Each structure stands twice: as C-alpha cells, then as structure tokens.
Amino acid sequence: MEQAATDEQQLVDRLRQRDSRAYHEAVQQFSGAMLATARSMLDPATAEDVVQESWVAVVDAIDGFEGRSALKTWLCTITANRARNRLRKSKRETLTDFQAPLDPNLEKRFNEGGGWIQPTRPWGSESADELLSNEALKDCLDKHFEALPETQRAVLMMREMQQMEADDVCRILGLSSANLRVSLHRARQKLFTMIEGFRETGEC
C-alpha cells in the first residue's frame, strides 16, 4: 500500500512537471476507469470524447490536485463532471421518483401490514462463491446494469465502483444526499431481485 502511495506521488509530481511520458503512463493506467465512469451516463462515442477532453483538462487542473483522494478517484470525478455537462447539453435530464424507499418489485412482496408475503430464501455463503464465478451471471448483471434508470446507474458507478465522495456525486448529479442514498439503495435492490431470480432459475 505504502509503495503504491509513493509511486502515485511520484507520478503526480511528474504530471505537474508536464512530463509527456508521465501522461502516457497515466492514460494507460487510468483511462479504463474514466471510460467506465463516462459510459455510465453517455453513449460509447460521446463517452470516449469525454475521456479525451478530460485528459486535456487534467493538464490544466493537476496543480490543484491535493491528494485527498486517490488519483484515479480524482480523475473519475473530473470525467463525471464533464459527462454530466454533456448530458445537460443533450437534454437527457431525467427525474425519477425518489420518494419510495423500495423498488416496486420488492415492494409488492409485502402485505399491507408490512409483513413478508414472498420472503427471500436463505442465501448460503457457498452459493455466493459459486455466483461470483458464474459467467452467465456476469452477462446478466451487465445487462441489468445497463437497464437501470440513468441516475441509479451513475450513482452505482460513482459511489460503489469508483469510490467517489458522496458530496461530489451529489453536486455532479444535482441530488440531495437523501436522494443519493435512495438511488443507491434502489439500484442495489433491483440487482438483488435479479440475482435472486438467477439463483433460483439459472436464467437471466
């Protein structure tokens, strides 16, 4: 860990010195995470443009990098900001119903008194290991991730996958912190229902 931190500090120093080889290395190392971040909000071609633009912006912004987060997280935050601006320009603003704490598919499994009608069956730890290495589940997961509402997909990518700060994610997406949490919960609930179904039927 400490060695990694030192390597990262050296890389940041070289980026600050406008060392083009350092940029080349950094592009190879970090563009994959930046592209995944941009793709959670944009179509493939626009996402790639945003990654390129973000790197050019990094040349100007690197002096302001304070090292409070990992370099990768900081780069993803810059990318997410720019991706969100593209989204505004193309008027793809979406407003989801943030009030309900439960995904509809989960909601309907309770009776009016708030008790289970259709409870989930036990999830053994050995079945988790099996699921983790199941390739068909991976394909199914990707499909359902793509199908999530825009905000839920972006929140899941930024918070869960890229470990961006909650404040940054709220600012970029224009969400209150309560709405951020509900979006994250509902995304997890949707994928829970999907994995549960896959586990019981073996089908996506």
Partner 1 sequence: MLKCREVTALASDWLDGDLTTAQKLKVRLHLMMCRHCRNLVDGLATTERIIRDRLDAELPIPAELQQRTTEAIEARLRTDQSGRN
What are the residues binding partner 1 (CB under 8 A)?
Answer: 18, 20, 23-24, 27-28, 31-33, 35-36, 39, 48, 51-52, 55-56, 59-60, 101-102, 106-107, 110, 113-116, 119-123, 127-128, 131-132, 137-138, 141-142, 145, 156, 160-162, 181, 184-185, 188-189, 191-192, 195-196
Biggest alpha carbon distance in the chain? 64
- Identify which of residues 63 and 93 has a Cβ nearer to partner 1 in the complex: 63
Residue 152 burial by Cβ neighbours in a 10 Å radius (0-12, 13-18, 19+): buried
Cα separation, 108 vs 184, whole angstroms: 20
Torsions phi, psi of 164, nearest 5? -70, 155
- Identify which of residues 77 and 162 has a Cβ nearer to partner 1 in the complex: 162
- Closest distance to partner 1 from the beta carbon of 77 (Å): 14
- Closest distance to partner 1 from the beta carbon of 115 (Å): 5
- Identify which of residues 91 and 122 has a Cβ nearer to partner 1 in the complex: 122
Radius of gyration in angstroms for the set of CA atoms belonging to the chain, rounded to a whole number:
20
Calculate ∠ Cα 87-104-94, nearest 5°.
15
- Identify which of residues 93 and 125 has a Cβ nearer to partner 1 in the complex: 125
- Identify which of residues 87 and 183 has a Cβ nearer to partner 1 in the complex: 183
Torsions phi, psi of 19, nearest 5? -80, 115
Cα separation, 89 vs 132, whole angstroms: 39
- Identify which of residues 102 and 170 has a Cβ nearer to partner 1 in the complex: 102
Long-range contacts made by residues 43-49, C-beta under 8 angstroms, separation at least 24?
Answer: 46/86, 46/90, 47/83
HSE-CB of 186 using CA atoms within 13 angstroms: 25
- Closest distance to partner 1 from the beta carbon of 91 (Å): 25
